[in-house]
Amino acid sequence: MDCKSRALFISTLFFSFIHPALLSTHPSNEVNLLDSKASQGELGWMSYPSHGWEEISGVDEHYTPIRTFQVCNVMEYSQNNWLRTNWIQRQSAQKIYVELKFTLRDCNSIPLVLGTCKETFNLLYLETDEDQGSRFREHQFTKIDTIAADESFTQMDLGDRILKLNTEVREVGPVTRKGFYLAFQDVGACVALVSVRVYFKKCPFTVRNLASFPDTVPMDSQSLVEVKGSCVNHSKEEESPRMYCSTEGEWLVPIGKCLCNPGYEERGSSCQGVRWGGGGGVGQPPATPCSRPPSAPRNVISVINETSVILDWSWPEDTGGRRDLTFTVLCKRCRVAQRPCEPCRSNVRFLPRAAGLHNTTVAVADLLAHTNYTFEIEAQNGVSSQAPKMRQYAAVTITTNQAAPSPVTVIRKDRTSRNSISLSWLEPERPNGIILDYEVKYYEKQEQETSYTILRSKGCNVTLNGLKADTSYLLQIRARTAAGYGASSRSFEFETSPDSFSISSESSQVVLIAISSAVAIILLTVLLYVLIGRFCCHSKSKHPDEKRLHFGNGHLRLPGIRTYVDPHTYEDPSQAVHEFAKELDASCIAIDKVVGAGEFGEVCSGRLKLPSKKEICVAIKTLKAGYTDKQRRDFLAEASIMGQFDHPNIIRLEGVVTRSKPVMIVTEYMENGSLDSFLRKHDAQFTGIQLVGMLRGIASGMKYLSDMGYVHRDLAARNILVNSNLVCKVSDFGLSRVLEDDPEAAYTTRGGKIPIRWTAPEAIAYRKFTSASDAWSYGIVLWEVMSYGERPYWEMSNQDVIKAVDEGYRLPPPMDCPAALYQLMLDCWQKERNNRPKFEQIVSILDKLIRNPGSLKITANTTSRPVNLLLDRSSIEVTSLDTMGDWLDSMRTLPCKEAFSGVSYSSCDTLAKTSAEDLKKVGVTIVGPQKKIVSSIKALETHTKNGPVPV
């Protein structure tokens, strides 16, 4: 048999054995650029020389024709046979994948081989901007790889009619030209190329959290592509929806979401109108036969936002046989003791209007805060006026929420001198409560807010002293009520008088008085300046944090972000709870089962169905019978605190039941429960990106709390809840209660109860709880997450933990922990609290890691790390790694940078230096090898690892 006929013999046999897998469909995130199997006719690829590769037609087992190429010139020397595909357009691919299916003959099984039989062939490619037709130059091609068979077949296999099909996939990228060719170079093998598929990956169009994400082509590099989602029809953004497209064509880390507009409900991945009958359209003449006035509108839904409400309803069941329907909304203000209700004030605004509405929705704004209103919605058609009958309307009663005051709009300059300005202003149009004080912020116009001064004033006027002469100042004012700060006024500009002109501008008639008052003002200013200076120096040396609250840049509450109000400052705590939490009717709550135990009673899961609202799953905390007044107060304090927050990473309060028993706090339901037990249940099952996504959520929630001025004091994985989408939310709020209800809290020598393992040294030593001590606790949560719920400091006693931490020892990196995250932990555990990262910085560091997941591959674990409990902080060396440039850039913004600059850090092998002896020296006893360390060693020995679980 000559070699050609042998090849034909092989191919003939081959086609009767094509595996059905060949016909399988490909994953939806792969876009084919070429699929040889899909071609019915000749592929027409170029073969050079002509007696090399040969195109053969065959059929698969379903008698579907397929085209293959084969070569088997094993009887001849010096083979160099090229097969080149047609020009393949790149489309939007950045990286392409080449999937080859082929069979290859074992050289040993070929009798009488005269040439030099080979068992490999070469795969090459050439990028071009246009089809080069039959022009072909070998040297222009770049080799991708030598392709060898995992399994070659022998004569015996042929006899047994078994053929071994090999599949090999190679990646090529980045590809940048308009198209490319592939080539197969044979140097003397007996090979049949059964199929060639070229594809690229994309993250396919998807809808997540009611936001649609378009087809996205990943980057060629390790970086993720950040994609912003667009809200589906009839929905709007709650938090900007984003996802990341990985190089593998997978969507990762969904952040943010959209919510259905009023009148629409979430069905599948779309928002659909609440179902109602009736048609639309206007203009039908009143004389239409059988016309009658319509019945009342139905299904009124109200969505309250502070002092505005959106009303949404369905068409009436009976439209009166007409389609020319309009709606009218009547607003009534109802005081409990005063019946009947009175019409609303004329300044209440209706958008688009109150009468003649063609749509079934209206927005009502400028209502009073904390007030009951009833809205009556009536439908009319063309015959309503001609056929008077009993008014039929749908009514809905709402209570507006607490609202922050509206901005100050009128500010007046009363007097100016060389270095002072006196101002007064009018109370905001809608104070929405009693104004406690005003915050006046001002700065030199030239300085552009890089440094500014804040004054507080109880009344509507203030004098700004100590100003520079002949200088422009910008000033903003905002009012504060129990609901927090309102929005800031716009910036007003004022100028001080020039040096040569030192009289008040508005009392120029009495020059003498003006001069003397100016002198007095200057003297007073100097005196004040000295006093303030002294006070500041004094406060600086004593309380650096407090000082910054007055003068720092970036440490003041941000304008527009409300400040947390401590419910314990209320004389009557039940007033606080009703200010911040909605009273729910117990009949709206169905308890399903007990899910856990809290300090005050059981925690249950159940459902909440409010009138005109969709039923939702909730968690219900109950106050057990026989409680004392103090217990009731402390129990409800949590609701008063939680009710002030509104953030996707903070557990949401639905309301409280205080008017019937049992007293309950109702919150959103978090399907996966507490983070610590959830992680323990799923040990080693998440990808690095998934863990970082969870950590980012926690950091974002903590940033919101610290912006609000709330210090959590008990941040720990057990106090984070996880929902079915893996979203983590901070929970467990309270003050004295926090530490009493936490089983981890222990009494300190000073009598307080503190969760030692999670708490910063200064908070343990002298109760200095700040957002910086929360950052320390965040570092511990980070460690808990990366070690899948391991107990910080294992079984060490609290006393040993305090001592070791005080002496500079820190927890070692958890198994497989990315170096970047371990570095972040160490930063959170800086002894000097001002050097710890702010939550804003933590969020941005984690965002950078998510965008650059390659940096997560560098781990802080080493095989050479001794089995120790703690690492001496001073022996940890950290500097830059090229591949972590981005991460380090972000680290450079941290104050700790100086501590590490100039130290060389090549791998994390150097991280662990402390021996058991060292630990003994500081009084740390090693309590046997711990679970994680043992498992990490086992894992290193076996090199086995589970894949991520789908969540």
**What is the rounded distance in angstroms from the CA atom of residue 148 to the CA atom of residue 150?**
7
Closest Cα to residue 475, out of 438, 451, 440, 424?
440
Q: Which stretch binds ligand ACK (CB under 6 A): 149-157, 290-298, 595-603, 744-752?
A: 595-603
* Residue 729 beta carbon to ligand ACK: minimum distance, rounded to whole angstroms: 8
Among 673, 755, 789, 813, binds ligand ACK (CB under 6 A): 673
Enclosing H/E stretch for 68: strand 65-72
Q: Which of residues 789-828 bind ligand ACK (CB under 6 A)?
A: none
Encoded tokens for 809: 């020892």
Contacts with 68 (C-beta within 8 Å, 6 or more apart), sequence order: 11, 14, 15, 36, 55, 56, 58, 192, 193, 194, 195
Nearer to ligand ACK, 364 or 619 (CB): 619
CA distances from 749 to 735, 744, 753, 795 (A): 19, 16, 9, 21
* Residue 596 beta carbon to ligand ACK: minimum distance, rounded to whole angstroms: 2
596 touches ligand ACK by CB under 6 A: yes
Enclosing H/E stretch for 775: helix 771-786
* Residue 863 beta carbon to ligand ACK: minimum distance, rounded to whole angstroms: 34
* Residue 669 beta carbon to ligand ACK: minimum distance, rounded to whole angstroms: 5
Nearer to ligand ACK, 452 or 669 (CB): 669
Nearer to ligand ACK, 651 or 728 (CB): 651
677 touches ligand ACK by CB under 6 A: yes
Angle between helices 885-892 and 819-828 (to 10 degrees): 10
**What is the rounded distance in angstroms from the CA atom of residue 162 to the CA atom of residue 736?**
76
* Residue 732 beta carbon to ligand ACK: minimum distance, rounded to whole angstroms: 8
CA distances from 850 to 252, 691, 855 (A): 9, 10, 9
Q: Which stretch binds ligand ACK (CB under 6 A): 37-45, 594-602, 752-760, 816-824?
A: 594-602
Among 149, 245, 482, 721, binds ligand ACK (CB under 6 A): 721
Query: For 463, left (φ over 0), alpha (ψ -120 to 50), or beta?
Result: beta
Contacts with 474 (C-beta within 8 Å, 6 or more apart), sequence order: 442, 443, 444, 445, 449, 491, 492, 493
Which residue carries 């389609």 as its tokens? 323
Nearer to ligand ACK, 463 or 731 (CB): 731
Which residue carries 């639309």 as its tokens? 280
Nearer to ligand ACK, 295 or 723 (CB): 723
* Residue 618 beta carbon to ligand ACK: minimum distance, rounded to whole angstroms: 8
Q: Which stretch binds ligand ACK (CB under 6 A): 386-394, 569-577, 590-598, 741-749?
A: 590-598
Enclosing H/E stretch for 333: strand 326-335
Q: Which stretch binds ligand ACK (CB under 6 A): 198-206, 379-387, 548-556, 668-676?
A: 668-676
Nearer to ligand ACK, 262 or 789 (CB): 789
Q: Which stretch binds ligand ACK (CB under 6 A): 169-177, 198-206, 503-511, 672-680?
A: 672-680
Nearer to ligand ACK, 656 or 850 (CB): 656
Size of interface with ligand ACK, in residues (CB under 6 A): 13
* Residue 824 beta carbon to ligand ACK: minimum distance, rounded to whole angstroms: 26
Residue 240 near residue 648, CB atoms below 8 Å: no
667 touches ligand ACK by CB under 6 A: yes
Q: Which stretch binds ligand ACK (CB under 6 A): 33-41, 550-558, 667-675, 839-847?
A: 667-675
Encoded tokens for 696: 């980012």
What character string, x for contact with ligand ACK (CB under 6 A) and - otherwise, covers 164-203? ----------------------------------------
Among 45, 669, 788, 887, binds ligand ACK (CB under 6 A): 669
**Cis, bond preceding 174 (omega within 30 deg of 0):** yes
Which residue's CB atom is positioned nearest to ligand ACK?
Answer: 596
Amino acid at 400: T
Q: Which stretch binds ligand ACK (CB under 6 A): 540-548, 592-600, 789-797, 842-850?
A: 592-600
CA distances from 775 to 553, 662, 688, 716, 847 (A): 20, 36, 21, 11, 17
Which residue carries 């905001």 as its tokens? 428
**What is the rounded distance in angstroms from the CA atom of residue 220 to the CA atom of residue 205?**
19
852 touches ligand ACK by CB under 6 A: no
914 touches ligand ACK by CB under 6 A: no
Q: Which stretch binds ligand ACK (CB under 6 A): 477-485, 663-671, 775-783, 930-938?
A: 663-671
Nearer to ligand ACK, 106 or 714 (CB): 714
What character string, x for contact with ligand ACK (CB under 6 A) and - otherwise, covers 634-653? -----------------x--
Closest Cα to residue 87, out of 119, 128, 121?
128
Encoded tokens for 32: 């084919």
Query: Could you tell me whether strands 298-305 and 308-314 are parallel, antiparallel, or unpaired per DSSP bridges?
Result: antiparallel
For 356-466, strand residue ranges (E) read 361-365, 372-380, 393-399, 411-416, 421-425, 437-444, 453-457, 461-464
Nearer to ligand ACK, 152 or 667 (CB): 667
What are the two backbone dihedrals, phi and then psi, of residue 416, each rounded to the nearest 5 degrees?
-130, 145
* Residue 627 beta carbon to ligand ACK: minimum distance, rounded to whole angstroms: 18
* Residue 903 beta carbon to ligand ACK: minimum distance, rounded to whole angstroms: 41
Nearer to ligand ACK, 551 or 627 (CB): 627
Q: Report the chain's C-alpha Rg in angstroms.
A: 37
What character string, x for contact with ligand ACK (CB under 6 A) and - otherwise, covers 918-947? ------------------------------
Q: Please count the residues of the chain.
A: 951
Query: What counts of helices (H) and strands (E) characterise the chain?
Result: 18, 47
For 405-541, strand residue ranges (E) read 411-416, 421-425, 437-444, 453-457, 461-464, 472-481, 484-485, 492-495
Among 321, 559, 598, 648, binds ligand ACK (CB under 6 A): 598
316 touches ligand ACK by CB under 6 A: no
Nearer to ligand ACK, 96 or 642 (CB): 642
**Cis, bond preceding 340 (omega within 30 deg of 0):** yes
Residue 846 near residue 696, CB atoms below 8 Å: yes
Among 503, 642, 670, 912, binds ligand ACK (CB under 6 A): 670
Coil vs helix vs strand at 534: helix
674 touches ligand ACK by CB under 6 A: yes
* Residue 637 beta carbon to ligand ACK: minimum distance, rounded to whole angstroms: 16
Q: Which of residues 602-621 bind ligand ACK (CB under 6 A)?
A: 603, 619
* Residue 631 beta carbon to ligand ACK: minimum distance, rounded to whole angstroms: 17
Amino acid at 849: L
* Residue 785 beta carbon to ligand ACK: minimum distance, rounded to whole angstroms: 15
Contacts with 625 (C-beta within 8 Å, 6 or more apart), sequence order: 661, 662
Nearer to ligand ACK, 426 or 617 (CB): 617
> In the annotation, is 806 catalytic?
no
Given the residues 106, 186, 714, 800, the one annotated as active site: 714
- Residue ranges in 364-504 assigned as alpha helix (H): none
* Residue 817 beta carbon to ligand ACK: minimum distance, rounded to whole angstroms: 24
Encoded tokens for 707: 């912006």
Neighbours of 220 (CB within 10 A): 18
Among 43, 487, 556, 595, binds ligand ACK (CB under 6 A): 595
Nearer to ligand ACK, 190 or 653 (CB): 653
Buried b (16+ CB within 10 A) or exposed e, 253-274: bbbbbbbbbbbbebeeebbeeb
Q: Which residues bind ligand ACK (CB under 6 A)?
A: 595-596, 598, 603, 619, 651, 667, 669-670, 673-674, 677, 721
Catalytic residues: 714
